[in-house]
Amino acid sequence: MRRRPPRRLLGVLAAVTVAFTMFSSASTAGAADTATKAAPAASAAQALSTSTPVVFVHGYTGNASNWVTAKSVFQLNGWSGSKLFTYDYDSYGNNVNNAQGLATFVNNVKSQTGASKVAIVNHSMGGLVSQYYLKVLGGNTSVSHLASIAGANHGTTFASACLVYTTCQQMYPGSSFISQITSGDETPGSTRYATWYSACDGVIIPYTSTRLSGATNNNVLCQTHIGFLADTITLGQIARFVAS
């Protein structure tokens, strides 16, 4: 004859079960709320695609090392390292030339991977390089997703500190360069656009400069300009956006 478990043990097991159920429900609700407020994440029922090559475009004085954390996050979200690329350009040159170089780089990535389109993830001044490529050079036909992290898309007054360089002149609000990429349709073509920006940025002034008309614009509660590059939560949202 089997012995029945003590009532005290059954009570403990029941309490643990209830607590676990409440914790799981609260976690799920919190995640859904975050996705709604902060990122255009795909629905749970939608299959995510991680086959699209991703080109990372750094900001002023940046380099490929800026994207070490982002690449790790994308790999954790299903990307192969062979599908992740970084574009380096001359921070002190001319963003027209930098955008032309991006066009060549994207074509090389497409040729190397056999993909018809790539996704672009940019940071800071990389937003100007990317926007010029997509809008002025017609690159939107080769780009499925554009994610701009603290992009200087409408300029930043912070650029006044380096106006000796053409790139900084182009990055200053009201420049002819910015007029080219913001006049008319800021999000041309069938490309899906999204931006992430924060009032705590400190470098993009005003911080709302990152927003693009026609894009999904995500206001991150408080993140610094450089801090975005190590923000695994935001980077995870971006990976899911690109996969959607």
Cite the active site residues.
124, 201, 225
- For the chain, count helices (H), then strands (E): 7, 6
Question: Residue 192 CB: number of other CB atoms within 10 A?
Answer: 18
**Number of residues in the chain:** 244
Angstrom distance (rounded) from CA 198 to CA 204? 9
C-alpha neighbours within 13 Å on the C-beta side of residue 124? 23
Residue type, 15: A
Q: Please name every residue paired with 195 in a beta bridge, in sequence order, or none if there are none.
A: 148, 217
Helix, strand, coil shares, percent, the chain, to 5: 50, 15, 35
Evaluate whether 120 touches 214 at the Cβ level (below 8 Å): no
Q: What token pair was written down for 135?
A: 């809008």
Q: Can you list the positions of beta strands (E) in 30-111?
A: 54-57, 84-87
DSSP conformation class of 40: -
